[in-house]
Amino acid sequence: MTSSSDAEANFKVVESFCKESQSEGVQLLCLPECFAFLGLGAQESIVFSQKLDGPLMSRYCTLAKTYALYISFGGFQENITDKKVCNAHVIVSPEGTIVDVYRKIHLFDVDVPNGMKFKESSFTQPGDKVVLSETPVGKLGVTVCYDLRFPELYGVLRRMGAEILLIPAAFTLKTGIAHWSVLLRARAIETQCFVLAAAQVGKHNVQRYRNETTKPPRESYGDACIIDPWGTVIARATVGKPGLVIAKLDLGLLSSIRTSMPTASHRRPDVYYAANSDKGRARDGAAQKATL
């Protein structure tokens, strides 16, 4: 998807995906981060933001009901205050009901060498809860974009029972080229889960950037894909183009992989936490000596 600051145009694109999904027999449709709006800066996101029971999200919920789909709305600007939003990943049932909401925990505050600078925390309030959404499609580990770089979160989701990891994103071009695919495959392999990675792709708001700024348009990496628990990419988007990526998920394969290579039962938290505790004690001891 290539979202823009035209919220109505974005809605029409999502509706077209819903229609196509229904005709293809899809049960779960996953949309990328910023599916409803992607503007030129933080202030535009704040102005655009709405409550989850507001008119725009209600329209999106109606799409789920109309087309009888579970929909992962992968990153909506949820209004919190007049200065802050939450990056909310909303799971909606085929009845049009919001069944789970995950608010992005890890915020994208980076200065990419020879690339973009971005400070998501300047306008976004981080979440504080890990969310597993239990649906007839499977047990969904719900995350957003930059979370991908924090394997601890996905380990927790696996131990909570996750079978499918949802990782919607608007990855930058530079970081996407370097890290997107390898991180997605790593999360699939280490958790032995399916990964569904919806993505923004291409240049956004080209005409507005040309008319209103001297900056080049924001560009997203794309490469939406579906990965199985062995780390195999089983479906992938056409390079550089928006569109649906469809695959059938065989949870029997997941069970087989977890049985033949039972890594979850081989974890040694007793050793990991002991090592961390020992390191902490050693650090405290050094601090005490330094103050004597």
Known catalytic residue at 84: no
Catalytic residue, from 18, 30, 33, 61: name it.
33
Known catalytic residue at 104: yes
Phi, psi of 112 (to 5 degrees): -70, 125
pLDDT score recorded for residue 209: 96
Return the higher-pLDDT residue of 286 and 225. Answer: 225
pLDDT score recorded for residue 265: 95
Pairing label, strands 28-31, 70-79: parallel
pLDDT score recorded for residue 111: 81
Instruction: Indicate if the pLDDT at residue 288 is higher than 60.
Output: no
pLDDT score recorded for residue 20: 98
The count of other CB atoms within 10 Å of the CB of residue 164 is 25
Q: What is the mean pLDDT of the chain?
A: 94
The number of helices, as runs of H, and strands, as runs of E, in the chain is 9, 14
Instruction: Indicate if the pLDDT at residue 289 is higher than 60.
Output: no
pLDDT score recorded for residue 256: 97
For residues 12-18, average pLDDT: 98
Report in angstroms the alpha-carbon separations of 232 from 5, 170, 207, 224, 263: 35, 22, 38, 14, 18
Q: pTM score, two decimals?
A: 0.93
pLDDT tens-digit profile of 249-283?
A: 999 999 999 999 999 999 999 999 888 776 656 55
Catalytic residue, from 30, 78, 104, 193: name it.
104
Known catalytic residue at 30: no
pLDDT tens-digit profile of 144-181?
A: 999 999 999 999 999 999 999 999 999 999 999 999 99
Helices 151-160 and 181-191 cross at an angle (nearest 10°) of: 30
Q: Go through 201-219 and write b for each residue having 16 or more CB atoms within 10 A of its CB, e for each that does not.
A: bbebbeeebeeeeeeeebb
Catalytic residue, from 18, 86, 145, 225: name it.
145
For residues 43-69, average pLDDT: 97
Portion of the chain with pLDDT greater than 70, in percent: 94
Query: What is the sign of the dihedral through the CA atoms of 274, 280, 283 and 287?
Result: negative
